[in-house]
Amino acid sequence: MTGVRVVDVTKSCGRTCALAGVTFGAGPGVTGLLGPNGAGKTTLLRMLATVLAPDSGTLRLLGRDPQDTGDRLEIRRRLGYLPQEPGFHRGFTVFEFVDYVAILKELTDRRARHDEVRRVIDLVGLADVADRRIRALSGGMKRRVGVAQAVLGDPDLVVLDEPTAGLDPEQRLRFRDLVSRIGEGRSVILSTHQTEDVAALCPHVVVVDGGRVAFDGTPGQLTSMARGRVWLAPERAPAARIAWRTAEGDVRNVGDIAPPGAQVVLPTLEDAYLLLVGDRARGVAA
């Protein structure tokens, strides 16, 4: 079996509850994990990457139980992981750093390992800077180094925590291309703040809010939840939960009920997401 199955998983962080009974499943392809800051996305992804163990609930990765020592080892052999803030040994070159991770991934045959390192560096378009020290790379290039190490050994499950954070629009488009290629034939779990990334990449989306799953379905299903609840008006409507003035000068209102006579427009994924998580997503919409 491929993919991920999470059933009623909980995790505490001190006195607060980071995850309060999360349940969802993900098969082959790219699954987008959306949610406001502090929703529990990173905690969830760290569990999917076998870095943290759940306090309770059932977690199955690639059909195996990560709490079992033997299963966990097998999962880690088939797992690729890009943390939210991947750290690098800045004195290493790109090749040396990816090789370092390849050693940790138990690619023991040196020739095969170096071939694999060159392959993934080439895959992310960094072949020309493979000998450059990481400290000399731009933020976008470092992100690509992070992705390169995540796809070492052709893993069956790839966990990417906010891979597009801090990237400029062109770099984000490159990333979409890269992630969509990675998602062909394997399970990719992608956490992001960007609804555009989900709309562009993910046939499956899970919205996490307050440590719980607020939505689990397709982007189309999520978008349809906002049908009839988004309208344009000259001013902010009192009934709107969230409203902002667009570049055209109208105010786009997102709320429970469009007032009579309002100019109702087709919702976007972002509208639906804002409706779902409300004020906690204001920072994302800005």
Partner 1 sequence: MSWHIDEPTLARYVAGEASAAVAASAEAHLTTCTDCRARLAPQVNRRRLDAVWREVDDRVQLTGRPWLERMLARGGVGAGPARLLAATPSLKASWLGSLAGAVVFAVVFAGASPAGLLGYLTLAPMLPVAGVAAAYGRFADPAYELAVAAPYSMLRLLLIRSVAVVGSTVVLTSLGSLALLDRGWTAVAWLLPAFALSATTLALSARVTPVWAAAGVLTTWVALVLLVRRADDADLAAFGAAGQLVALAVLVVAAAAVVRQRPAFAYDSRRSA
Question: What does the binding site for partner 1 look like in residue numbers (CB under 8 A)?
Answer: 11-14, 18-19, 40, 42-43, 46, 49-53, 69, 72-73, 76-77, 79, 81, 83, 86-93, 96-97, 99-101, 103-106, 108, 110-111, 114, 131, 149
Taking the least distance from each CB to partner 1, the nearer of 144 and 229 is 144
Closest approach of partner 1 to the CB of residue 89, in Å: 5
159 versus 199: smaller Cβ distance to partner 1: 159
Q: What is the rounded CA–CA span in Å between residue 145 and residue 82?
A: 10
Report the nearest approach of partner 1 to the CB of residue 102 (Å). Answer: 9
Nearer to partner 1, 108 or 246 (CB): 108
Closer by beta carbon to partner 1, 69 or else 246: 69
Please say which residue, 28 or 86, places its beta carbon nearer to partner 1: 86
CB of 127 to partner 1, least distance (A): 15
Tell the smallest beta-carbon distance from residue 173 to partner 1 (Å). 26
DSSP string, 69-128: HHHHHHHHHTEEEE-SS----TTSBHHHHHHHHHHHTT---HHHHHHHHHHHHHHTT-GG
Q: Helices in the chain by DSSP H: which ranges? A: 41-48, 69-77, 94-104, 110-123, 139-150, 169-182, 195-201, 219-224, 269-277, 282-285
Strands, sheet with 4-13, edge to edge from the N-terminal-most edge strand? 16-26, 4-13, 56-61
Cα radius of gyration rounded to whole Å, the chain: 21
Contact indicator for 273, 281 with CB cutoff of 8 Å = yes
| Residue 126 CB, nearest approach to partner 1 (Å) | 16
